[in-house]
Amino acid sequence: MIMDLKRTLPSYSEYFDGNQDEDALVYLYLANKLIQQIRPGSLTIAEEMSGMPGIAAPQTRKGYGFSYRLSMGVPDLWIRLVKETADEEWDMGKLMYELTQHRSEERIISYCESHDQALVGDKTLIFRMIDAEMYTGMSKDYHSVIVDRGIALHKMIRLITFSTSGGGYLNFMGNEFGHPEWIDFPREGNNWSYKYARRQWDLADDKDLKYIELANFDRKMVKLHQDFNILDDLTVNRVFENNTDKVVAFMRGDFLFVFNFHPSRSFTDYGIPVRGKFSIALDTDDTAFGGFNRVDRRAVYLSIKKGERGTINAPVYLYLYLPSRTGLVFKKEPIRRATDI
């Protein structure tokens, strides 16, 4: 069940300004209570933009009892960045803030594009990035600056949205493999046309096209949660941000996520301030996902102290090669000896 609660509240004082519809709030509370009584374990999701306190808090904590809140600002953020902001001007601090902001008591569902893009009204993210070349440039043996950028960012946007979500991730059908068109059902505005009232599922199975590579990436990304329950740990620990280099890194449980959004600069021996031993679990630059295979995925990465050997309290860094427009997921491995770091 999705309940639409779209009133925008620009300041906290307006949450409790006396203008709330108390009957409506009581109804939502009782509806969630009844749903759980009839079918325990059911999910209810609030499509709610303002961040109303308690919307996705359990009723045992005096919340309204929704299981999740849709993080509606995330798809708005992505479409604004892609449409209005040059890649070199993306603000990493603002990006991470928007992706991770939510109340501690609530679970949220993040998504890259909303129905405004995936359905009639706008272009999907990949369609906006690649545009007409979606129809002529998706063959595996074809490369252009436009297509390569769109493919790389499509994977990175999905991975960082997935890995920062507050418990859930949403995808509109077909967008996981970069479907070239939106869905538009027959209506008066399109003269009751059925032209776009479908998905071309065969595109994701064609071994000669890049759609299958995007589908493979999405499958591997989602499998991270299926295998390791990554999204169940709601804490996203931001460990590094460099807006000049367009690099961000954060931990989620035993997994380190590192993104280099810079459109042209790759970095060698880039220091990320984390301690441990790591191996690569996912690499957006893998050729299986339409990448350029610039990372050694067989390597084991060990953080080391920066400075003179034996220096007390020397900072510890994980030194990595970060190709441009690449996202990397590292899994923390057990350390056998304390002297390994």
Q: pLDDT truncated to tens, each residue of the chain (341 aa)?
A: 544 555 566 666 666 666 678 898 899 999 999 999 999 999 999 988 777 888 899 999 889 999 999 998 899 999 999 999 999 999 999 999 999 988 777 899 999 998 877 776 578 899 999 999 999 999 999 999 999 999 999 999 999 999 999 889 999 889 999 998 888 888 898 899 998 888 899 999 999 999 999 999 999 999 999 999 999 988 999 999 999 999 999 999 999 999 999 999 999 999 999 999 999 999 999 999 999 999 999 999 999 987 655 566 778 999 999 999 999 999 999 987 655 55
pLDDT on residue 6 = 52
pLDDT on residue 77 = 94
* Helix, strand, coil % over all residues of the chain, rounded to 5: 35, 20, 45
CA-closest candidate to residue 110, choices 98, 122, 126, 127: 98
pLDDT on residue 15 = 65
- Tell me the sheet residues that pair with 258: 249, 328
For residue 11, the 8-state DSSP code is S
Q: State how far Cα 114 lies from the chain centre.
A: 13
Where helices occur in the chain by DSSP H, the ranges are: 22-38, 73-84, 92-100, 115-118, 125-130, 133-136, 145-164, 211-228
pLDDT on residue 123 = 84
Instruction: Please state, as a whole number, how many other Cβ atoms lie within 10 Å of the Cβ of residue 337.
Output: 6
CATH number, domain 2-232: 3.20.20.80
- Tell me the sheet residues that pair with 2: 45
Q: Are 222 and 159 in contact (CB under 8 A)?
A: no
pLDDT on residue 337 = 64
CATH 3.20.20.80 in the chain: give the residue spans.
2-232
CATH 2.60.40.1180 in the chain: give the residue spans.
237-340
Looking up tokens 């600069």, which residue turns up? Answer: 265
pLDDT on residue 340 = 54
**Residue 223 φ then ψ, to 5°:** -65, -25
Q: Is 195 exposed, middle or buried (0-12, 13-18, 19+ CB in 10 A)?
A: exposed
**What amino acid occupies position 181?**
E
Cα–Cα distance, 284 to 131 (Å, whole number): 22
- In words, the CATH class of domain 237-340 is mainly beta
Return the structure tokens found at 18: 């006396």
Cα–Cα distance, 4 to 6 (Å, whole number): 6
Cα–Cα distance, 47 to 32 (Å, whole number): 14
